[in-house]
Structure 1
Amino acid sequence: MKYAILILLSSIGLMASCKELDMLDGNGPEKTVYDVVFRESLAGTYEKWRTKDNGFEFYYTYTDRGRGPEYKEVISLNDDNFIVAQTVKGINYSKVSIEENFSSNAGTAVTQNLMGTSTGDFNGDKLYFRFDGSPAVYEILAQLALKSETGKVALYPKGEAELINKIPLELSNGTSVELLSIKGLDLNPVYIWMLGDEMIAKISGNLHIIRTDFSPIRQEMKGIQDGIEDESLIAIAKTLTHNVDKVVIKNVNVFTESGSLLYNQDVLVERKLIKAIHSTGEIVLDKDATLIDGTGKTLMPGMFDMHTHNDKFRGMLHLAGGVTAVRDLANNKHLKGLAEQFESNDILGPHIVTFGGIIDGPGPFANQRNVIESLEEGLAEIQDYKRLGYQQIKLYSSIKPEWVAPLTKKAHELGMRVSGHIPAFMDAKQAINQGYNEIQHINMLFLNFLSDTIDTRTPLRFTMPAQYGADLDLNAKEYVDFIELLRNKNILIDPTAAIFENKFLAQKGKPSPTYSTVANRFPIIYQRSFYAGGMPNEGEKLKRYKASYDKMLAVIYDLFQKGVAIVPGTDGLPGFLYHRELELYVEAGIPAHEVLKLATIKSAQITGVEDLYGSIAVGKGADLVLVDGNPVNNISDIRRVEWTMKDGKLFYADELYRSRGIEHFK
């Protein structure tokens, strides 16, 4: 008997909430419906139903500020519940058209997806995991894992998923359910809520997919899952933290505040502080000290990622990449709690040295983290962020232009900086003259020269610079005057260049240039995100977008040359994207030693923590990174992190990466 993929619901209330879809027979399909909640707002729907030929169909969509996927999917299963045929059609999160097919017959499978067409051996005992599509495959995977004697499920064409925890729970509505934790797909375990054979919820970060009848207790379920996730991360922190009272890094080359190297140094660390730095052999070694051979390697200060959005899972990736301090530039108001967990080392993560509270205005493209309906609400929110200890306010694209000046005035009165996107129907010059101290993302500078009527709430903030950025004249008076404005007003620019490399240059079916050197280090399913492509960029757009991206790098170099402060930040995958950001600054023309200064001492100065962090000096905090190589000569050596030290505690990069299913550098 077929291992059922779903238990069909028949309640009148549920059917009344169903979305109109094409009917498959005279009476129409009976559907199971899920709410899709994104950042605590109802953002879409997921629906599934059985067809008259005993197959299954699915519809899935949600919206996120003008982006978001929409898929229709058809699946057929064999008697062992493995997919033997599948079709996915629609658009992905970036609005790129998707059509994917999987079929099998007589020991052979044929796949057609963004990687092209391929054929392989297939005996119906491996799970094909689609590139893009609905949550259906997670439900099938959960069913297979529950049925498996080992908890393991082979994936097609390669890879393996494993059920690592199955937790029986009783919810407040009296329902007995199981929460499954499965590894092997992503950097973090995938959590799936099951009621018998049916998935009732999949909660992952800000994206929650929950059967409509369980929506009233979604927050309860999220709270339970959060606690279980925390317990797992606390256990990992205990295992992967190496406490050392005294450490001597011998014969290492030390990166200095000036950007040069001090060769063949011995560095003594005691507990949380750097106690001594001497030429090799001058320190009398304590027999109780842990000795680390640094021959031929570079000792860097812990680096700063100046544009992050932190959660409890991302912290260890920052540390693995040599990042020990971050600015958080938009999060929920519980961020201080996470920062305390990072500081106490209960959960692994960097110092959060800047807290940026986000405020957005009303409308269909609102950020959803903290939306105000009036100027008075915005002023109150700034006061509340100040109460919580935030140092910065980030205004977003849906803020009404007439609110910018009074909001920035309020923030400045409270001693807070103001940064952000340029609100819709303003330009960067207007925002600066009304009080901005900083601008996030290089595209926002390019929009300044296109029009002040562009709706930056929509994907136009990407497509317009991609199409017309190549035309920007760096010698034109308008541009020269704008750069002078930035310099005179000490405006900080946070380019996030790697984000735009991926958006403008990545092509569907090919490895993104942003991740191509590291893609094969990731779990097989996660690797697929590196082949998804950026914005639609076929034909003439390829050349045009490349020219516009090259102009972005030219502007970054021009900003540096003309004394406008820039900071390296990612707004994405911790560590790996940060390394790429630094590489791109060097590619733009900034000398590697200057880029490393931006990543360390200059970021420490900007965030006001230079007395403790940002350089290697006696009396400073022991936030250090040992790099196997010389990033001053070859910036890409910054990827070769052997270990990171935070507050005198050692974290080995290979251990951190392996805990996330990632291979260490080779």
Structure 2
Amino acid sequence: MMLVRPLLLAALLAFAGAAEAATHRFVAMAGGEKVGHLVAEVDGRTAKIDFAINNNGRGPKAREQITVDASGAPVSWAIAGSSLFGSPVRETFSRQDGVAQWVSQADQGEAQVSGPALYVPNDGSPWALGQYVKALLKAPGQTLPALPSGTMRLQEVRKITLGEGASAVKLTVYELSGVDLTPSYVLVDARGDMFGVLGGGLIREGYEAHLDALTTLAQEISLDRAKAAQAKLAHRFDAPVRIRNVRVFDPETMTRGPLSAVVVFGDRITSVQPETDGPAPEGQVVIDGQGGTLMPGLHDMHSHTSLSSNLFYLAAGVTATRDQGNDNERLLAMVEGLESGELAGPRIVRNGFLEGRSPYSARHGFIPESLEEGLENVRWYADHGYWQIKIYNSMNPDWVGPLAAEARRLGMGVTGHVPAFSSPDRVLMDGYDDIAHINQLMLGWILDPEEDTRTPLRLTGMARAADLDLNSDRVVSTVRYMRENGKALDTTAMILERLMLSRSGRVHPADAPYFDHVPVAYQRYRKRSFVTLGEGQYETDAAYQAGFGKVLEVLKLLDDNNVQLLPGTDDGTGFSVHRELEVYVKAGISPAKTLRLATLDAERYFGRDHELGSIARGKLADLILVEGDPTTDISDIRQVRMTMVGGVVYYPAEIYDHLNVKPFAAPPPVTPAR
């Protein structure tokens, strides 16, 4: 009997372990199409994960193994694979005897831990979100310390039933927050297992038909959150608002004037006068600019707008964006909310996304299967008030001309990438008003015509830019054509700088001004590589550094040739707009000219400069108050104290507090009307 009991116990334990073994399968979706998978093999407290995304010719790929303790907190974690553009990933974490240790792309370190703590990986899969929910549900107050730093919080948002009858699934939506710029929303079933990620396109395999319902749910939750933020953060005044003791930046003359007072009533500027020492008239709200710079709001000419990015834009002083591709219905609903005042955010100029069908397709807007279908898509965009169409990488080059002609017939403009196997000269002659991304222009001068820019080559190919001769016939002829025909460039130079020059474990100088202000997950995300060094003749650090140096030369060349530059980011944090302007100055463009490009010239491009883009009586009150003088030091643009959109006031310090970001500048003193 003494021998039987251990054998029986071992058999029972083996049976229990087998009972816990399970396979969890998820599908990653974008634009209604499958773009990846996540498969987790769970055996007891250990999970082995296979995760891969392939969307727009890129995506992370990882194999993970995670082991957790009885609290649900990880005790070991290993990740191997590649990041967004293929940079290799090897990340490990362990917790033993009260000591946690980790090594990632971003950093390596250790910390003393006295209880459960949740490691935030630099390159993990969404599987971790479900594990965090399990651990936080067991934790006091549903809060746990995060590693390397910070605190993770869990809050139940709502309960739902997905489907009907025998196939119905009861789910709970949880909000995870505290360690990143925006919260995550995780769906969990009655057993406590992850069912999907709202807004992330990840759903349990077999339930893809319910994705539209979950997308609608995600939008409802995001809208509720955004409306609450608007109610909390927007300051509206019934009385005239006098912004006094400010120096007004005039983008026409590119100068900063003497101390002045600017009065706003409703959504319009009603007066711009020299400052006086006397008291303000009765019945006016007074905002003391304390000698700062009052200037028109900034523009991001390449955005992909979201409800969360709207707040980041306002905090950065951005009052208008050009949306270069989005979910069409969601964008229309967002614009309606902005125009009604229910939502906070900049003015949005909508561009309609058109992509071709290929294994590398991006899932935004429309992907027509034929030219006739593409022409119908153009008409849909025109009927819904879009300003331009945007053509993308996989579009058939022979369709560009007819699509552009139809857009022009309907009163729209044309922008976009240079489709693979086409050229900048061809798309400009086919009807583009501007090219999106400076690398899309330069690759036409660098690559061989048969090389495929639908792949990460559209980034890695820029390592060859150092050898580009800017006096060559092909460069000179393209620049001449752009100048003589009024063609523009949507630059997004800062995103190219980030992708080419970010290095594992280092804080790039572009990120240093805000790095200590943001949560730990975003800090770690910024300390990563996007390119793989050491593979081939060009893929060296020196080649990428020299290649970006050539980007700066091209910016200056285009500006010297009076080719309009459209400052854009392809990002949504707001910080990136400031960096884009710093890059212009680094290229040799004056700070004052850079500010004009980001304000009045952008509105001239939109054809709205009679209403926006400068500070003058009768114009719409889209203004920002900046501490310091960005006409002499462009980096002062990071110190935004107040943003006004259509007369509604926002204080970036309040917005950043709301977003779990340490503020950069204090609000100005405000005296209520008397």
Alignment coverage as a number of residue pairs: 638
Match of 1:258 in 2: 253
Residue 115 of structure 1 deviates from its aligned partner by 3.5
Structure 2 counterpart of 1:229, one-letter code: S
1:129 matched to 2:120? The reply is yes
Match of 1:3 in 2: none
Q: Which of 39, 53, 73 is matched with 1:47 structurally?
A: 39
Match of 2:95 in 1: 104
1:421 matched to 2:417? The reply is yes
Give the SS at the match of 1:313: helix
Residues 537 and 545 in structure 1, CA contact (< 8 A), matched pair in contact too: no
Structure 1 counterpart of 2:42, one-letter code: R
Residue 116 of structure 1 deviates from its aligned partner by 4.4
Structure 1 counterpart of 2:147, one-letter code: Y
1:373 matched to 2:372? The reply is no
Match of 1:662 in 2: 661
Residues 106 and 524 in structure 2, CA contact (< 8 A), matched pair in contact too: no
Aligned equivalents of 1:551 and 1:120: distance in 2? 43
Considering Cα pairs closer than 8 Å and 6+ residues apart, tell me whether 1 or 2 has the greater RCO. 2
Relative distance call for 1:478 and 1:229 in structure 2 (3 A) is closer
The 10-residue stretch of structure 1 (480-489 or 27-36) with the greater mean CA deviation from structure 2: 27-36
Q: How does 1:292-371 map to 2 (within 5 A)?
A: 292-334=287-329, 335-352=331-348, 354-369=349-364, 370-371=366-367
Residues 45 and 68 in structure 2, CA contact (< 8 A), matched pair in contact too: no
Residues 273 and 620 in structure 1, CA contact (< 8 A), matched pair in contact too: yes
Match of 1:85 in 2: 76
Aligned equivalents of 2:308 and 2:526: distance in 1? 20
Match of 2:224 in 1: 231
Cα deviation, 1:299-340, whole Å, max 9, x if unaligned, reads 011111111111112111111111111111112222222112
Structure 2 counterpart of 1:561, one-letter code: D
Cα deviation, 1:77-98, whole Å, max 9, x if unaligned, reads 1122211111111111221111
Q: How does 1:581-620 map to 2 (within 5 A)?
A: 581-620=580-619
Aligned equivalents of 1:580 and 1:132: distance in 2? 25
Q: How does 1:260-659 map to 2 (within 5 A)?
A: 260-281=255-276, 285-334=280-329, 335-352=331-348, 354-369=349-364, 370-450=366-446, 451-466=448-463, 468-538=464-534, 541-659=540-658
Q: How does 1:138-157 map to 2 (within 5 A)?
A: 138-157=129-148
Match of 2:204 in 1: 211
The 10-residue stretch of structure 1 (146-155 or 536-545) with the greater mean CA deviation from structure 2: 536-545
Aligned-pair RMSD on alpha carbons? Answer: 2.0
Residue 29 of structure 1 deviates from its aligned partner by 6.8
Residue 203 of structure 1 deviates from its aligned partner by 3.1
Aligned equivalents of 1:221 and 1:204: distance in 2? 7
Aligned equivalents of 2:480 and 2:218: distance in 1? 51
Residue 193 of structure 1 deviates from its aligned partner by 0.8
- Structure 1 regions of 5+ residues with no counterpart? 1-24
Residues 192 and 202 in structure 1, CA contact (< 8 A), matched pair in contact too: yes
Residue 492 of structure 1 deviates from its aligned partner by 0.8
Residue 384 of structure 1 deviates from its aligned partner by 1.2
Aligned equivalents of 2:626 and 2:108: distance in 1? 41
Match of 1:169 in 2: 160
Give the SS at the match of 1:444: helix
The 10-residue stretch of structure 1 (531-540 or 264-273) with the greater mean CA deviation from structure 2: 531-540
Give the SS at the match of 1:399: coil
Structure 2 counterpart of 1:472, one-letter code: L
Percent identity of equivalent pairs:
32
Aligned equivalents of 1:365 and 1:397: distance in 2? 8
Residue 296 of structure 1 deviates from its aligned partner by 2.2
Q: So what's the TM-score if we normalise by structure 2?
A: 0.91
Residue 292 of structure 1 deviates from its aligned partner by 1.3
Relative distance call for 1:405 and 1:77 in structure 2 (3 A) is same
Residue 422 of structure 1 deviates from its aligned partner by 0.5
Residues 161 and 171 in structure 2, CA contact (< 8 A), matched pair in contact too: yes
Relative distance call for 1:571 and 1:283 in structure 2 (3 A) is farther
Match of 2:189 in 1: 195
1:247 matched to 2:241? The reply is yes
Residue 28 of structure 1 deviates from its aligned partner by 14
Residues 201 and 208 in structure 1, CA contact (< 8 A), matched pair in contact too: no
Cα deviation, 1:17-39, whole Å, max 9, x if unaligned, reads xxxxxxxx999974111111123
Give the SS at the match of 2:664: coil
Residue 590 of structure 1 deviates from its aligned partner by 0.3
Cα deviation, 1:413-455, whole Å, max 9, x if unaligned, reads 2221111111111111111122222101111121121322221
Match of 1:34 in 2: 26
Match of 1:9 in 2: none
Aligned equivalents of 1:575 and 1:27: distance in 2? 49
Aligned equivalents of 1:640 and 1:59: distance in 2? 44
Aligned equivalents of 1:458 and 1:380: distance in 2? 28
Residue 243 of structure 1 deviates from its aligned partner by 0.7
Aligned equivalents of 2:461 and 2:516: distance in 1? 33
Aligned equivalents of 2:78 and 2:153: distance in 1? 25
Relative distance call for 1:636 and 1:54 in structure 2 (3 A) is closer
Match of 2:176 in 1: 182
Give the SS at the match of 2:307: coil
Residues 45 and 69 in structure 2, CA contact (< 8 A), matched pair in contact too: no
Aligned equivalents of 2:395 and 2:222: distance in 1? 35
Aligned equivalents of 1:443 and 1:419: distance in 2? 14
Residue 218 of structure 1 deviates from its aligned partner by 2.3
Aligned equivalents of 1:65 and 1:274: distance in 2? 44
